[in-house]
């Protein structure tokens, strides 16, 4: 059996097609709110049940519970606030009980039933979620730039905006049917925002050795300049899977999500999302969802001990490297050799090499994967 959804039920809050036309025809009378990229993606994840059991944006009681206890008020683990912020001007235009049309890039993307509008303490929010109030932390910076009010209320997602990745996206309902059809009882999920190097491959294959299936779940979304473009990541993975993974043991599909860089708290959130997709295991590596030096190397692994009731099993990995002493890929837990016999895989080196059009060393990245990446005119975000 694949995982039970978080909280027991897979949420579905997607506006049915027949109602969509009515709503859009009558929508001119509704108050409207523009939402940013993060909220738009959260909306989709609420809609399809990736965030089950959430049916909308947190109210003040739930936010406080999440901030202080890392749980919803019903005690279910939940570590990242899913909130919708508005400024003073927007606050004056909506009232409790209103249905608001949520807009993204000029298109309607959801309906919000306003249940509460409330103020919140940004400093406290940042300190609790990110363990810092340093504005240089990208997650903190976003919180500080948010409006002064939050709106709590349930939503209905309107799947209207197209980004070209529709054929790569499976909803939790779809992945659950797929895993069942494949006869997988145990599924390990891997979250990624990067092109695959040998370290990723060995982590995935080590995990796959003990379970029925591997679910590779790249996060598509806003990226920094110099990051690999989303289509490059997907193509690189396709090459790796087609050439080097057993057919029938791997599923790759995307999730649209804006990273918070909340390290340990976000690792729990990532695990919950994958549990809702049906995964039974989740890979957590070094500095998962971290940024800069805000979190300890393995803090995102340690936090799982506080959630024995999470309902998905974390698999903790140390970094893989190539070791001349071992004569192959190895990691700190299994290799007895000196550091100077090891070739550590460096994302920076790989990026540097690829940006000059050169295939990185074979101990770091497979040639076939590198060639796929180099087949793009510019694999990087400008």
Q: Is 329 in the site for Zn ion (CB under 5 A)?
A: no
Q: How far apart are CA 179 and CA 207, in angstroms?
A: 17
| Catalytic residue from among 193, 229, 297, 324 | 193
Full strand arrangement of the beta sheet holding 328-331: 328-331, 320-323, 342-344
Known catalytic membership, residue 45 = no
How far does the chain reach from its first CA to its final CA, in angstroms? Answer: 44
Known catalytic membership, residue 286 = no
Q: Is 45 in the site for Zn ion (CB under 5 A)?
A: no
Number of residues this chain uses to bind Zn ion (CB under 5 A): 6
CB of 339 to other proteins, least distance (A): 38
* Residue 56: partners with Cβ closer than 8 Å, 6 or more residues away: 13, 46, 112, 113, 115, 152, 153, 154, 155
Known catalytic membership, residue 192 = yes
3-class DSSP string for 58-93: CCHHHHHHHHHHCECCCCCECCCCCCEEECHHHHHH
User: Residue from 335, 350, 359, 370 that binds Zn ion (CB under 5 A)?
Assistant: 335
Give the interface with other proteins as residue ranges (CB under 8 A): 8-10, 69, 71, 75, 167, 170, 173-174, 177-178, 181-182, 251, 306-309
Q: What are phi and psi of 72, to 5 degrees?
A: -70, 170
Looking at the Cβ atoms of 143 and 178, the one nearer to other proteins is: 178
CB of 309 to other proteins, least distance (A): 6
- Check the CA dihedral 107-108-109-115 and report its sign: positive
Q: How far apart are CA 66 and CA 272, in angstroms?
A: 14
| Catalytic residue from among 192, 206, 297, 318 | 192
Q: Which does 367 bind (CB under 5 to 8 A by kind): Zn ion, other proteins, none?
A: none
Looking at the Cβ atoms of 333 and 356, the one nearer to Zn ion is: 333
Q: Is 343 in the site for Zn ion (CB under 5 A)?
A: no
How wide is the angle at C-alpha 123 spanned by C-alphas 117 and 126, nearest 5°? 90
User: Residue from 61, 337, 352, 371 that binds Zn ion (CB under 5 A)?
Assistant: 337
Give how far the C-alpha of residue 338 lies from the chain's centroid of Cα atoms, to the nearest Å.
Answer: 36
Q: Which does 75 bind (CB under 5 to 8 A by kind): Zn ion, other proteins, none?
A: other proteins
What residues are annotated to the active site?
192-194
List residues binding Zn ion (CB under 5 A): 323, 325-326, 330, 335, 337
């Amino acid at each position: 059996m694949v995982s039970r959804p978080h909280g027991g039920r897979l949420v579905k809050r997607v506006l049915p097609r027949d109602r969509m036309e009515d709503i859009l025809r009558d929508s001119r009378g509704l108050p409207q709110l523009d939402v940013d990229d993060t909220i738009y993606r959260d909306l989709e994840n609420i809609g399809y049940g990736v965030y089950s059991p959430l049916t909308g944006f947190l109210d003040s009681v739930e936010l406080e519970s999440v901030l202080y206890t890392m749980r919803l008020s019903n005690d279910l683990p939940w570590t990242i606030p899913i909130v919708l912020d508005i400024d003073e001007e927007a606050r004056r235009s909506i009232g409790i009980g209103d249905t608001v049309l949520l807009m993204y890039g000029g298109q309607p993307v959801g309906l919000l039933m306003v249940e509460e509008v409330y103020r919140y303490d940004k400093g406290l929010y940042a300190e609790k979620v990110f363990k810092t109030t340093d504005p240089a932390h990208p997650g903190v910076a976003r919180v500080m730039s948010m409006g002064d009010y939050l709106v709590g209320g349930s939503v209905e997602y309107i799947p209207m905006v197209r980004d070209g990745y529709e054929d790569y996206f499976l909803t939790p309902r779809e992945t659950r049917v797929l895993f069942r059809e494949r006869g997988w009882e145990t599924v390990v999920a891997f979250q990624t925002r990067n092109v695959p190097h040998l370290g990723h491959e060995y982590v995935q294959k080590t995990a796959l050795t003990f379970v029925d299936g591997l679910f590779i779940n790249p996060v598509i979304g806003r990226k920094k300049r110099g990051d690999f473009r989303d289509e490059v990541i997907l193509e690189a993975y396709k090459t790796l899977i087609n050439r080097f993974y057993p057919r029938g043991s791997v599923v790759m599909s995307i999730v649209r999500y804006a990273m918070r860089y909340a390290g340990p708290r976000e690792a729990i959130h990532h695990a919950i999302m994958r549990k809702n997709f049906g995964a039974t295991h989740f890979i957590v590596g070094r500095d998962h969802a971290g940024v800069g030096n805000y979190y300890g190397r393995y803090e995102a692994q340690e936090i799982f001990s506080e959630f024995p009731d999470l309902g998905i099993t974390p698999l903790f990995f140390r970094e893989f490297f190539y070791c001349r002493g071992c004569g192959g890929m190895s990691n700190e837990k299994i290799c007895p050799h000196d550091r100077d016999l090891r070739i550590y895989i460096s994302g920076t080196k790989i990026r540097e090499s690829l940006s000059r059009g050169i295939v990185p060393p074979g101990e770091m990245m497979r040639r076939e994967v590198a060639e796929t990446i180099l087949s793009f005119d510019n694999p990087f975000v400008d």
